[in-house]
Chains A and B, each alone.
Chain A
Amino acid sequence: MDVTLPVPAAAPARPGRLPAGLPIAGLFLALVAVAAVAPGLLTHTDPLAADPMAALQAPSAAHWFGTDQLGRDVFTRTVYGARYSLFIGLTATLLSVLAGGVLGLLAGLAPRAVDEAISRALDVLSSFPEVLLALLFIAFTEPGTPSLILAIALAFAPRYGRIVRAQTLLVRRAGYVEQAVTFGLSRTRLAWRHIVPNVLGPLPILATIGLGTAIVNASALSFLGMGPQPPSPEWGAMLSESRNYLRVAWWSAILPGATLTVTVIALTAVGRRLQARFEGRR
């Protein structure tokens, strides 16, 4: 589930060799983006149109991903589902990067006491397993898309906060910053002109990789019934609805799940590539 971890260790792509899958990954992501923005371009069926006579049909030319227990077209539902996953994943990641970024910068720049307080708070938050922290948040609110987004954002903010804090401390000690201090640059000017841009540079890339994790966790929570409620064609919720029919119809659970997995793999591949370029590896 957690694909951001192996970043330092898992960059097996040897220098100079571009992973062959990269253009495919980009193409697939473009397709998912189209599905999210204009699902009508990819399918002409209604994702909610039930046809009990055609329930649980295997994949065929008419129904590429087969049909589910209510006779709804699984491919159409998967296409429409992209909107939920991408929207939830993007907004949650954006929120957690924002919150983590502000907290991390504050911790890195403010006096020691403030840094201590923020760092301890982040420690406490990250000592809760992510899905459980998100569940706790949802227990206090109502299951549904908004609280799902906030729950994921809350669960992932500490991670970005720690990274940004470490990065800020690193930049603060860099030669050019110390130079600027000796030239008498004011603290605020120093922070805005030199520290913030250098700290925030790598964030979009981390967010790309984190987006995959956020999407997976959001769909896991939807699978548990904490996200968009049925009949919304969210990928995790679709899997959960179809789990009871697995014996007779594997496609209506596995194909949306596979789409989700490929999306995450593509995001990870693109994110790692961007990271490698950013860090000056070829």
Chain B
Amino acid sequence: MWRAVLRRLGSGAVVLWAAATAAYLALHLAPGDTVDTLVGDGPDTPQIRAQIAADLGLDRPAVVQYVAYLWRLLHGDFGRSYVLQRPVADIIASQVWPTVKLTLVASAFTVLIAVGLALVSTGRGRWVRGLVSALELSVVSAPGFLIGVLLLSVFSFRLGWFPVSGDRDASALVLPALSLALPLGGLLSQVIREGLERALDEPFAVTARSRGLTRQALLWRHALRHALLPAVTLAGTLIGFLLSAAVVVERVFGRPGLGQVATDAVGAKDIPVVLAVVMLSAAIYVALSTVADLAYLLIDPRLRKG
């Protein structure tokens, strides 16, 4: 068991290290010189150039620079923004909370929607199933920004139930979180329903029923636990999706957050900021999918030997 845990943690660390290295290479092989970018329209003399290069350590050997870069990353130092002239870590720290809040609420909604849809449609007649399937296919296929714009136009502009943009209070969180949760919930509920139906065909389900357990009790107490297992394996992909979609949804609802930071930085060619956001999301992805893998080991004893 512990060997398996260590192996997962190790491969997660290797992926992160490789991602950091790739980011470093991308930064240094990119067309355009860092010093050129920083000099910009300002005064341009060899002395100023040498000063900038010395400040950034660009005059040192590449290997030293690389090691120093990894060392700084380990300490949460992502360098300075070209455009805002502030440490990237500060910019991210000030914007990370709205995104975390959004993704957490969205995850909770996702689970509710997925389990709800799956429980409602399992083993029902053609009509209910067809309806639920059509709904799932629509929300899964619709781009996140369309769902956002639809919700916005109905619930904010028509009905006036929720604020149109910003991040003032909890009510501003509902629609963005729903826009993220609907496609994910639609996806996950298909997996859970399949699992529920398979569990209901198992001998233990027949036994429980023959002992007089009600259908509902069987579904909730026994089948659901089996059905959630395959959903856990999907967790990594779902997290990646959530992080990707959050960037777009933040834009739709004019919310502050990392997505806004990233899109602004791409527009301004503020590479250190873009890199930091992308690296951070890769780190979150790797960390959470490692946790999901470990959770799977805990839940399913059959995998512990590997």
Whether B248 pairs with A254 at a CB distance below 8 angstroms is no
Whether B266 pairs with A129 at a CB distance below 8 angstroms is no
Whether A216 pairs with B143 at a CB distance below 8 angstroms is yes
Q: Of A129, A247, A254, A268, which one neighbours B244 at CB under 8 angstroms?
A: A129
Q: Of A1, A264, A268, A269, which one neighbours B144 at CB under 8 angstroms?
A: A1
Known contacts A1-B241, A12-B190, A135-B247; is-contact A236 B145 (Cβ 8 Å): yes
Whether B247 pairs with A253 at a CB distance below 8 angstroms is no
Expressed in whole angstroms, the Cα–Cα distance for A226 and B30 within the complex equals: 19
Known contacts A212-B141, A216-B143; is-contact A136 B278 (Cβ 8 Å): yes
Binds A, one of B1-9, B41-49, B60-68, B279-287: B279-287
List the A side residues contacting B278 at CB < 8 Å.
128, 132-133, 135-136
Expressed in whole angstroms, the Cα–Cα distance for A9 and B194 within the complex equals: 6
Known contacts A124-B19, A138-B266; is-contact A131 B248 (Cβ 8 Å): yes
- Minimum CB–CB distance from B253 to chain A (whole Å) comes to 10
Q: Of B129, B146, B269, which one neighbours A260 at CB under 8 angstroms?
A: B146
Whether A130 pairs with B266 at a CB distance below 8 angstroms is no
Known contacts A136-B274, A220-B143; is-contact A128 B285 (Cβ 8 Å): yes
Whether A6 pairs with B187 at a CB distance below 8 angstroms is yes
List the B side residues contacting A38 at CB < 8 Å.
none
Whether B146 pairs with A10 at a CB distance below 8 angstroms is no
List the B side residues contacting A236 at CB < 8 Å.
143, 145
- A-contacting residues, B217-265, CB 8 Å: 230, 234, 237, 240-241, 243-245, 247-248, 251-252, 262-263, 265
**CB closest residue in chain B, given A138:** B266
B131 within 8 A of A: no
- A-contacting residues, B264-301, CB 8 Å: 265-267, 269, 271, 274-275, 277-278, 281-282, 285-286
Expressed in whole angstroms, the Cα–Cα distance for A124 and B194 within the complex equals: 31
B37 within 8 A of A: no
Binds A, one of B73-81, B105-113, B132-140, B170-178: B132-140
- Minimum CB–CB distance from B134 to chain A (whole Å) comes to 9
Known contacts A132-B278, A136-B278, A139-B266; is-contact A257 B247 (Cβ 8 Å): no
Whether A135 pairs with B266 at a CB distance below 8 angstroms is yes
Expressed in whole angstroms, the Cα–Cα distance for A122 and B263 within the complex equals: 25
Q: Of A12, A126, A225, which one neighbours B133 at CB under 8 angstroms?
A: A12
Expressed in whole angstroms, the Cα–Cα distance for A130 and B281 within the complex equals: 11
**CB closest residue in chain B, given A20:** B130
B185 within 8 A of A: no
Whether A6 pairs with B157 at a CB distance below 8 angstroms is no
Expressed in whole angstroms, the Cα–Cα distance for A47 and B299 within the complex equals: 56
- B-contacting residues, A213-269, CB 8 Å: 216, 219-220, 223-226, 236, 239-240, 243, 246-247, 250, 253-254, 257-258, 260-261, 264-265, 268-269
Known contacts A127-B285, A129-B285; is-contact A1 B15 (Cβ 8 Å): no
Whether A132 pairs with B277 at a CB distance below 8 angstroms is yes
Whether B143 pairs with A1 at a CB distance below 8 angstroms is yes
A interface bracket (residues with beta carbon within 8 Å of B): 35 or more
List the A side residues contacting B120 at CB < 8 Å.
none
B26 within 8 A of A: yes
Whether B245 pairs with A1 at a CB distance below 8 angstroms is yes
List the B side residues contacting A139 at CB < 8 Å.
265-266, 269, 271, 274
List the A side residues contacting B159 at CB < 8 Å.
none
- Minimum CB–CB distance from A270 to chain B (whole Å) comes to 12
List the B side residues contacting A121 at CB < 8 Å.
18
B153 within 8 A of A: yes
B1-45 near A? 1/0 per residue, CB < 8 Å: 000000000010011101100100010001100000000000000
A140 within 8 A of B: yes
- Minimum CB–CB distance from B18 to chain A (whole Å) comes to 4
- Minimum CB–CB distance from B10 to chain A (whole Å) comes to 12
- Minimum CB–CB distance from A144 to chain B (whole Å) comes to 13
Expressed in whole angstroms, the Cα–Cα distance for A88 and B167 within the complex equals: 34
List the A side residues contacting B193 at CB < 8 Å.
12
- Minimum CB–CB distance from A29 to chain B (whole Å) comes to 13
Whether B240 pairs with A130 at a CB distance below 8 angstroms is yes
Whether A261 pairs with B26 at a CB distance below 8 angstroms is no
Q: Of A124, A129, A133, A243, which one neighbours B241 at CB under 8 angstroms?
A: A129
A2 within 8 A of B: yes
Expressed in whole angstroms, the Cα–Cα distance for A224 and B129 within the complex equals: 36
Expressed in whole angstroms, the Cα–Cα distance for A54 and B185 within the complex equals: 41
**A-B CB contact pairs (8 Å), 9 listed:** A9-B191, A126-B240, A132-B262, A135-B262, A139-B271, A223-B251, A239-B145, A246-B157, A257-B150
Apart from A10-B136, A120-B14, A131-B247: 7 A-B pairs, beta carbons within 8 A: A5-B237, A12-B133, A130-B240, A131-B244, A136-B275, A138-B266, A225-B267
The 8 closest A-B pairs by CB, nearest first: A131-B244, A257-B146, A10-B190, A129-B243, A129-B244, A264-B141, A139-B274, A261-B142
Binding site for B on A (CB under 8 A): 1-3, 5-6, 9-10, 12, 120-121, 123-124, 126-133, 135-136, 138-140, 143, 212, 216, 219-220, 223-226, 236, 239-240, 243, 246-247, 250, 253-254, 257-258, 260-261, 264-265, 268-269
Binding site for A on B (CB under 8 A): 11, 14-16, 18-19, 22, 26, 30-31, 129, 133, 136-138, 140-146, 149-150, 152-153, 157, 183, 187, 190-191, 193-194, 230, 234, 237, 240-241, 243-245, 247-248, 251-252, 262-263, 265-267, 269, 271, 274-275, 277-278, 281-282, 285-286
